Amino acid sequence: MKDLAPVYFASGRSPADEALRLQRLDSFYAAPTRAWLQQAAGLKPGMAVAEFGPGSGRMLDWFAGIVGRDGDVLGVDIDLSRAGPVRPPVRLMQADLHAPAAEPGAFDLVYARMVLGHLSDPDAAIARLLEWLRPGGRIALADLDCSRSLPEDMSTPGMAEFAAAMDATRQAMDETSLMDSAFGGRLAGAMKQAGVTQVNEQRFERVVEGGSDWALFQAENVEIIAGLTGAHEASAITARYMRTPGVRYHDQALVFCTGIRP
């Protein structure tokens, strides 16, 4: 079995292609993420926000619009080639989030979406993220839980094949450590274990239609994953059903958790 733990999900793709993929990923999740942060992250003008793994950088601009010129927005990514140019108050830092905090205790809010589930030791990563927060500051993390992604109606012809293929695709990610496909389901527990208090969890779940923009995007992602894990047959079947209009399935859940650094 391959060990893909050190491999970035989209390594091997050109920075331009990956930048576009990350922009599309952000646009699909922008509305629920922003609604959650507006309601649960205590955002205010003048705040200092640090985002880890900002990818396309789209959320950095959104934070900047809220905190304003008196605030501070720092994006920390191991690879900044996918982020666009930034304007104050946004700053970028190329760094590994496993490293000790370069600006310890400096932030009111630390945020990361769809980053921790890709890491080999997400618990250690949460401990590192907390170092950047002032005492009483808030941490807001979002990760995927793909474990309940299934066809909506298993009695429809072909859906047993689709479900088995989705399962094999997930298993290949987990067994190669490319990604922990169920990490979102364990996120709240991991935060509590790290000493975070007042942990609150919300799940963004929905049923999606094969052939929709989102399903077509997911089908492309499944094929990228197969290029790394080698699970080509399962991925081809999964992608085919995702591209088929009339197929309906429970989407991967995006699990949003907030809490406080004591």
Ligand X SMILES: C[S@@+](CC[C@H](N)C(=O)[O-])C[C@H]1O[C@@H](n2cnc3c(N)ncnc32)[C@H](O)[C@@H]1O
**Tally of CB atoms within 10 A around 217:** 16
Nearer to ligand X by Cβ, of 77 and 180: the residue is: 77
Q: How far is the CB of 151 from ligand X (least distance, A)?
A: 25
Binders of ligand X among 30-89, rule CB under 6 A?
52-55, 77-79, 82
**Tally of CB atoms within 10 A around 132:** 25
Residue 101's identity, in one-letter code, is: A
Find the helix or strand (DSSP H, E) in which 143 lies.
strand 133-145
**Of 86, 66, 76, which Cα lies nearest the Cα of 115?**
76
Nearer to ligand X by Cβ, of 69 and 206: the residue is: 206
- Regarding 17 and contact with ligand X (CB under 6 A), the answer is no
Nearer to ligand X by Cβ, of 91 and 98: the residue is: 98
- Regarding 122 and contact with ligand X (CB under 6 A), the answer is no
Q: How far is the CB of 258 from ligand X (least distance, A)?
A: 16
The Cα–Cα gap between 82 and 79 comes to: 7
Nearer to ligand X by Cβ, of 93 and 207: the residue is: 93
Which distant-in-sequence residues (6+ apart) come within 8 Å of 44 by Cβ? 66, 67
Sign, CA torsion 29/30/31/32: positive
Nearer to ligand X by Cβ, of 9 and 162: the residue is: 9
Residue of the chain from 101, 109, 115, 254 that contacts ligand X (CB under 6 A): 115
Q: How far is the CB of 210 from ligand X (least distance, A)?
A: 23
Residue of the chain from 3, 17, 96, 121 that contacts ligand X (CB under 6 A): 96
Please identify, among the stretches 21-29, 199-207, 216-224, 253-261, the one whose residues bind ligand X according to the rule CB under 6 A.
21-29
**Of 7, 6, 18, which Cα lies nearest the Cα of 220?**
18
Please identify, among the stretches 112-120, 145-153, 186-194, 241-249, the one whose residues bind ligand X according to the rule CB under 6 A.
112-120
Q: How far is the CB of 39 from ligand X (least distance, A)?
A: 18
Residue of the chain from 118, 128, 170, 186 that contacts ligand X (CB under 6 A): 118
78 in helix, strand or coil? coil
The Cα–Cα gap between 207 and 155 comes to: 16
The Cα–Cα gap between 142 and 84 comes to: 22
- Tell me how many residues contact ligand X (CB under 6 A): 18
The Cα–Cα gap between 157 and 148 comes to: 20
Chain residues binding ligand X by CB under 6 A are 22, 25-26, 52-55, 77-79, 82, 96-98, 113-115, 118
